[in-house]
Amino acid sequence: MSTAITRTAIVTGAARGIGATTARRLAMDGFAVAVVDLDESACQSVVDEIESAGGQAIAVGADVSDEQAVTTAVERIATELGRPTVLVNNAGILRDNLLFKMTVADWDAVMNVHLRGSFLMSRAAQKYMTEAKWGRIVNLSSTSALGNRGQANYAAAKAGLQGFTKTLAIELGKFGVTVNAIAPGFIETDMTAATAERMGVSFEEFRDALVAQIPVGRSGKPEDVANAVSFFVGDGAGFVSGQVLYVAGGPTN
């Protein structure tokens, strides 16, 4: 990253897990970071950590699926922190169930956060990127995009994000904006712990069963994803766009 200016990054779903770790990593890389999540107060601890380490950050509460909330949040970030030229669309929820048990509300909730949210955030942020003639959008997909039992909604949303990524890469490339996606495999987070609980098994059992199928022989950590984000948003990745990087410890189908 150029040291001539401080660039501003937005990370959604950043109060915990992959989002929080990514926000901290981008602050270490020299970005001013807007830590965005549904509950603004839940973001404050991440902001405090960044500031304690000498970085710059603000907490922003916003529902990424709400058009007006997104517009207000991005304008506030531009005013208070700086015009954003990096966006990490990480916000996500799970509403797992087999198709015959899945409600319309569960389908819509997942689509609204993952797909609608990424669309609204990208649309709001891209104007600052195109004006600056430099920008980076990173969308969080998942290995579930390849299909996963009990996740028709989540898998469809994450596969949709890959198509969204490739299309934005085509549209925005001429403005110096790259758009890429990261598709994590099993990462140890509160969300995966909740999945184990829902399945009625201990997190250790759940983790060990999955690790047995991972070629590198370990589970993923939020830092593994944050490292990939750090690469994509750097100046050195300017010729990489429209790609889906599987951060999964081995080949995918």
Give yes or no: 246 in active site: no
Q: Which residues contact 72 (CB under 8 A, 6 or more apart)?
A: 62
Q: Give the active site residue among 31, 107, 154, 164.
A: 154
Q: Which tokens hold the place of 112?
A: 């609204």
Integer Cα distance of 204 and 193 in angstroms: 9
Closest CA to 21 of 249, 171, 228: 228
φ, ψ of residue 193 to 5 degrees: the values are -65, -40
Integer Cα distance of 125 and 13 in angstroms: 16
Q: Which tokens hold the place of 181?
A: 């996606």
Distances (CA, A) of 191 to 41, 43, 183: 19, 17, 15
Cβ contact 141:181 at 8 Å:
yes
Cβ contact 131:174 at 8 Å:
no
Integer Cα distance of 163 and 175 in angstroms: 20
φ, ψ of residue 63 to 5 degrees: the values are -90, 110
Chain-centre distance for alpha carbon 31: 16
Q: Which residues are catalytic?
A: 154
